[in-house]
Amino acid sequence: MYLLVQSYQYHRYAGLLEQSFRLRKRVFHDRLGWQVNVDHDLERDVYDDLGAVYLIWCDDDARTLYGTLRLMPTTGPTLLHDVFARTFPNTDLVAPSIWEGTRMCLDAELLMKVAPTLSPSRAFGFLLLALCECSIAHGIETLVSNYEPQMARVYRRAGLMVDEIGRADGYGRFPVCCGIFDVCEETRQRMQTALRVTRPLYIPFSSERSNAMAMPAL
């Protein structure tokens, strides 16, 4: 199942959040070699302390993490503006309806054990579709993210049309792109078709969560 974890729910899902920080360390520090903060085998940064919202893919008991990503409103501090501003020159990306998605990762080894026929690309597609559904449910109209060029292929396979608005060198071995995509029913339906999904992946628990998401406390 897919959960949206906001700051007032951190204690309830503390186990899943700790797993997500451990997964981020394995993916971004160990595997990709990014220069990220690591403390006690956890990858966290200053944005995790600013009321970040997490979309989490886990088992039905909410005990085992499969994948995660972080959401931040562009009206506050973001990696997009603080670190990757050179990737989107001359573009205004600050609005209550525009949110940044970062730190998207999957536990590929675990997924291979629990769903051996599920390819990593399709698994990423599921998480992206859940992100689209979640964003629609909570009033987000546009999502923006920085990514390496090879991720564009994963987006296309998931039926997601990302508009690359810029890119820049100097962050690592590959250029870093900045892309945006519209959050709407057309996007959701296109992704469902591409991924052959007929039922919603993300199901909001209550309107209370929607209201809190639309007006985050930073």
Residues of the chain whose pLDDT is less than 70? Answer: 206-218
How many CB atoms within 10 Å of residue 66? 23
Position 147 scores a pLDDT of 92
| Residues sharing a CB contact under 8 Å with residue 217, sequence separation 6 or more, in sequence order | 7, 51
CATH of the domain at 10: 3.40.630.30
Region for 75 from its dihedrals, namely left if φ exceeds 0, alpha if ψ lies in -120 to 50, beta otherwise: alpha
- The residue range of the domain holding 173 is 2-214
Beta strands (DSSP E) in the chain are 2-5, 38-39, 42-43, 53-58, 65-73, 98-106, 142-147, 163-168, 176-182
Position 123 scores a pLDDT of 95
Position 29 scores a pLDDT of 87
Domain count, the chain: 1
**118 near 97, Cβ under 8 Å?**
no
Position 212 scores a pLDDT of 40
Residue pLDDT, tens place only, 121-149: 999 999 999 999 999 999 999 999 999 99
Provide the terminal-to-terminal Cα distance of the chain, rounded to the nearest Å: 27
